[in-house]
Amino acid sequence: MNSTTNSGSSPEAKKPDTKVTKRKQPKIHSYPFWSPRFWHGMRAGDWWKLCIKHGFRIHPIRWPMAVLLGMITPVNSILRLWQRAQYGSRIDRTRIEEPPVFIIGHWRSGTTFLHEVMHQDERFYSPTTYQCFAPHHFLLTEWLIAGYGGWLMPRQRPMDNMATGWERPQEDEFALLTLGAPTPYLRCAFPNDPPPAVEFLDMEGVDPADEKKFSEAMIEFSKLITFRSQKQLLLKSPPHTGRIELLSKLFPGARFIHIVRNPYSLFSSTVRLWQSLDAVQSLQMPKHKGLEEFVLMCLTRMYQGYEKQRAKIDPAMIVEVKYEDLVKSPMTELERIYGALKLPSIEGAKPKIEKFLTEQKDYQTNKHELDEESRKLVREHWGFYFDKYGYEK
């Protein structure tokens, strides 16, 4: 069955029936063996549960990393107890006075660029890479690792030319992962196994116990960051796109900035994203079998959730922006976003934002070539996205 729907309707969730031509593996930026992986921030119990669930199907080449993780994760458990002992009561009493602003949209739609730009507005606070990788103890250890451990980080992200760094704004999804919440990002550990937690792309069929675990992790991390910053939170995570109803319940008054991009660019860039993450994060040697089908399914399911949930949320709490418009006229689009969501005036933040945009003017995006067979599959399975957001097929 074709998943294309009429303009404005919700996508139909289905398993893509695809046959995608095997394409050349992309070049991945260097990611040193000593650089942190998502799993380094886990507690021991969550790490062992992950391995047991996948039957310890770890490739021999990855066993040294697995052994190191087995040594590091107990330290995280101990440091969590220390952090709770020192700060726990104050964190629990922390109130999130100003509802967060969430940047949402499919992977590779421009969420990182928008996040980096709005991060320049110092009235907002975005969690840093270190805080997302070490939520169990960053209040104790951030000064040490972020201050003196810059050498641990690669210069660029593996999938593109974006700079990395402990202090750069980061996706809160990584913090949820290390806090033990269910998330599709767990797939990166064992990419050759069936992808886990895909129900958290649209919140359909989620086990109540898992939803409770996710919600508790979301609140815990938000309180941690608010306690640390005492500012309004600016959060960004593509999987949040299909969770806006839950997030609105957890944070009444939350606002959402939804960014979209040409579907052809989304498909090729997202395939590269998962290939690169699998190459540097996995405990297996990734085969990438069914990867294109996984990418097609994720957007369809994510937007089924988004369209269904959006109807239940005050329209004044959501604003949409096209990536193409944002990169063409960033300040104009930012002024529109701030005005639509009734955020404080952007005027005071303009000098720093303009300085950042000037520094980024020479940034080179990845170039992706999509063969006609793949373009046909994208049109077939993501036709609703073309129609809804006005992109030519």
Helix or strand run (H / E) with residue 232:
strand 232-236
CA distance 359 to 117: 11
pLDDT at 235 over 70: yes
CA distances from 152 to 32, 73, 130, 149, 223 (A): 8, 18, 11, 6, 27
Task: Quick: pLDDT tens for 236-252.
Answer: 999 999 999 999 999 99
The domain tally of the chain equals 1
Q: Is the dihedral of CA 146, 148, 152, 153 positive or negative?
A: positive
Query: Is 42 a domain residue?
Result: no
User: How far is the CA of 187 from the CAs of 72, 134, 190, 277, in angstroms?
Assistant: 21, 19, 6, 10
Domain presence at residue 22:
no
Question: What are the phi and psi torsion angles at 236 (to 5°)?
Answer: -140, 125
What is the residue type of 211? Answer: E
CATH classification at residue 353 = 3.40.50.300
Question: Cβ-count burial of 358 within 10 angstroms (0-12 exposed, 13-18 middle, 19+ buried)?
Answer: exposed
Condensed to tens digits (0 to 9), the pLDDT of residues 266-307 reads: 999 999 999 999 999 999 999 999 999 999 999 999 999 999
The answer to whether the beta carbons of residues 272 and 366 sit under 8 Å apart is: yes
Distance (Å, rounded) from C-alpha 110 to C-alpha 323?
Answer: 6
Phi, psi of 172 (to 5 degrees): -70, -15
Per-residue pLDDT, 13:
46
Strand order of the sheet with strand 318-322? 124-125, 232-236, 101-104, 255-260, 318-322
What value does the mean pLDDT take over residues 208-216?
A: 98
Q: Which domain holds residue 359?
A: 99-171+197-272+289-389
Residue type, 84: R
Q: Is residue 215 part of a domain?
A: yes
* Predicted pLDDT of residue 161: 59
Select from 339, 393, 389 the least CA-distant residue to 370.
Answer: 393
% of the chain residues with pLDDT over 70: 87
Per-residue pLDDT, 3: 35
pLDDT score, position 165? 81
Q: How far is CA 40 from CA 43, 55, 274, in A?
A: 9, 19, 19
Residue 76 belongs to some domain of the structure: no
2 inside domain: no
pLDDT tens for 126-143 read 999 999 999 999 999 999
**In 3-state terms, what secondary structure has residue 128?**
strand
The verdict on residue 224 lying in a domain is yes
If you average pLDDT over residues 45-50, what whole number do you get? 97
Say which amino acid occupies 100: P
Please name which of 324, 320, 314 lies closest in space to residue 336, comparing C-alpha atoms: 320
Instruction: Return the sign of the alpha-carbon dihedral for residues 206, 258, 103, 184.
Output: positive
Q: 152 vs 354, which has greater pLDDT?
A: 354
Residue 88, in any domain of the structure: no
Split at pLDDT 50, 70, 90, the class of 5 is very low
Instruction: Residue 191: name the closest of 343, 267, 294, 122 by CA.
Output: 294
Is residue 125 situated within a structural domain? yes
Residues in the chain: 393
pLDDT at residue 159, rounded to an integer: 54
Collapsing DSSP states into helix, strand and coil, what is residue 143? helix
Beta bridge partner(s), residue 232: 124
pLDDT at residue 367, as a whole number: 64
